[in-house]
Amino acid sequence: MKTDDRVLVTGGAGFIGSHLCERLVAAGDEVLCVDNFFTGRRANVASLLGHPNFEIMRHDITCPLFVEVDRIFNLACPASPIHYQFDPVQTTKTSVHGAINMLGLAKRVRAKILQASTSEVYGDPEVHPQPEEYWGRVNPIGVRACYDEGKRCAETLFFDYYRQHNVAIKVIRIFNTYGPRMHPNDGRVVSNFIVQALQNQDITIYGRGEQTRSFCYVDDLIDGMLKMMDSDADLVGPINMGNPRELSIIQLAETVLSLVGGRSKLVFKPLPKDDPKQRQPDISKAKSSLGWEPQVSLEDGLARTIDYFRRQICE
């Protein structure tokens, strides 16, 4: 199967990017995966290496890229706090210079371009759940700002290229997403808890564990991303994508423990700085304009993710 559509996925060797590449290749698209392998791994796209419709290129999107493509999914950017805070200047450059380079490319070759933005643009929100109209509450000089403000500036650039240069844009704001191929050491809560539970280690709860998040299984997110990319030209976003089922971090730990079993105990560690207290997407727009809402329950998604990590740990 071949659609003749050439699709660029930046960050394609990362967690979400690798699932997207697989879905695009399966749909018959010709996929160019661009990645600097900061957090991504060739192993994530192992099933695609050698496929005639798949190509992988080592490239950092802070540098210009000249390729001929019809659609661009801009996902390149470390997403876990420990990775994006490792080299914060590079994180801002990836979001800002990267967006300028990819928007410049989209403008030159008249490609449609989708930005993987984030719920972090809402910061530590005072409005709950978060609708797209909410402008957010971000500390511009805090340790999370390299990511939050970088992504906010990228959104600004997307909307200015749209208004000023008529570039066909799509912006989605992704809420916490999990699934197979999360990096086992990237410090995100779902991967941490599963790996700790599988190894009978203590489950590390930051703060009192009362802060909330809403977790979306990766397959659901990919469905939404593809629907958004294929939507009418006047639907530019931003559109929230996430699972509205909200739970506290303690509840997540208890759910993971009940699914894995084992002897782990909960231990409490200091809360990282600027850690948002609550987060839940209002997905009314995604429902009404795309007919999209998550289908995979937390228990099913966690069970699939646990299977993945169990295989990784045993290998």
- Under rule CB under 6 A, which residues in 88-117 are in contact with ligand NAD? 94, 98, 116
Q: Provide the binding-site residues for ligand UDP, judged by CB under 6 A.
A: 80-81, 176, 188-189, 192, 204-206, 211, 213, 249, 272, 275
d(CA 249, CA 115): 28
Query: Smaller CB distance to ligand NAD: residue 118 or 264?
Result: 118
Closest CA relative to residue 98, chosen from 146, 132, 52? 146
Query: Using alpha carbons only, what angle is made at residue 219 by residues 214 and 288, rounded to the nearest 5 degrees?
Result: 70
Instruction: Tell me the pairing of strands 212-214 and 246-248.
Output: antiparallel
What is the smallest separation between the CB atom of 188 and ligand NAD, expressed in angstroms? 7
Are the C-beta atoms of residues 174 and 116 closer than 8 Å to each other?
Answer: yes
Q: Pick one of ligand NAD, ligand UDP, none as the site partner of residue 206 (Cβ within 5 to 8 A by kind).
A: ligand UDP
Active-site residue, selected from the candidate residues 147, 161, 178, 217: 147
Residue 86: is it exposed, middle or buried by C-beta count within 10 angstroms (0-12/13-18/19+)?
middle
At closest approach, how far in Å is the CB of 275 from ligand UDP?
5
How far is 43 from 49, CA to CA, in rounded Å? 9
Contact flag: residue 192 with ligand NAD (CB under 6 A): no
Task: Considering the complex, state which of residue 121 and residue 236 has its C-beta at the smaller distance from ligand NAD.
Answer: 121
Q: Does 39 bind ligand NAD (CB under 6 A)?
A: yes
Query: Which stretch, 15-23, 121-129, 287-295, 304-312, contacts ligand NAD (CB under 6 A)?
Result: 15-23
- The greatest distance separating any two alpha carbons of the chain, rounded to the nearest whole angstrom, comes to 58
Residue 177 makes contact with ligand NAD by CB under 6 A: yes
Report the residue number, 25 or 145, with the smaller CB distance to ligand UDP: 145
9, 45, 61, 197: which one contacts ligand NAD (CB under 6 A)?
Answer: 61
Minimum CB distance to ligand UDP smaller for 237 or for 242: 242
Quick check: 61 and 92 in contact, CB under 8 A? no
Does residue 147 carry a catalytic annotation?
Answer: yes
Instruction: Please identify which residue in 6, 9, 17, 281 interacts with ligand NAD, judged by CB under 6 A.
Output: 17
Active site residues: 147
Binding site for ligand NAD (CB under 6 A): 10-11, 13-17, 35-40, 60-62, 75-79, 94, 98, 116, 118, 174, 176-177
